[in-house]
């Protein structure tokens, strides 16, 4: 999913791990993938922070589909973890539905 943001968003998007698709002179275009969004939350960025920063730095308001895509891509982070105990692997989760 691609979305154009002005040049001031460059650092934020690089920190979030978004992939740069194109670098015209006055605008940068980034490819938001489920992997790049997952990477962003894995380093401590919260979903709402990513949405807020992109909204703030974008020339236009983020489309609802983009916001849903961001939520869907980051919703599963941290729901399970792989734990090694006594040379055996276990999957732990505080979420019973998982």
Q: What is the pLDDT of residues 2-40, one digit of tens each?
A: 444 444 444 455 455 554 455 556 666 667 888 888 888
Q: What is the pLDDT of residues 42-91, one digit of tens each?
A: 878 888 888 888 888 777 888 999 999 999 988 888 788 889 999 999 99
* pLDDT number for residue 85: 93
Can you give the residue ranges of every domain in the chain? 2-92
* pLDDT number for residue 49: 86
CA 51 – CA 42 distance, rounded (Å): 15
Tokens of 37: 């969004």
* pLDDT number for residue 68: 95
96 pLDDT band (50/70/90 cuts)? confident
CA 83 – CA 51 distance, rounded (Å): 31
């Amino acid at each position: 999913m691609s979305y154009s943001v002005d040049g001031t968003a460059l650092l934020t998007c690089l920190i979030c791990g978004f992939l740069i698709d194109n670098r015209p002179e006055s605008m940068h275009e980034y490819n938001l993938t489920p992997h790049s969004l997952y990477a962003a939350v894995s380093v401590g960025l919260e979903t709402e922070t990513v949405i807020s920063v992109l909204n703030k730095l974008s020339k236009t308001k983020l489309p609802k589909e983009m916001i849903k895509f961001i939520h869907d891509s980051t919703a599963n982070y941290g729901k399970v973890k792989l734990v090694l105990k006594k040379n055996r692997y276990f999957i732990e989760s505080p979420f019973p539905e998982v």
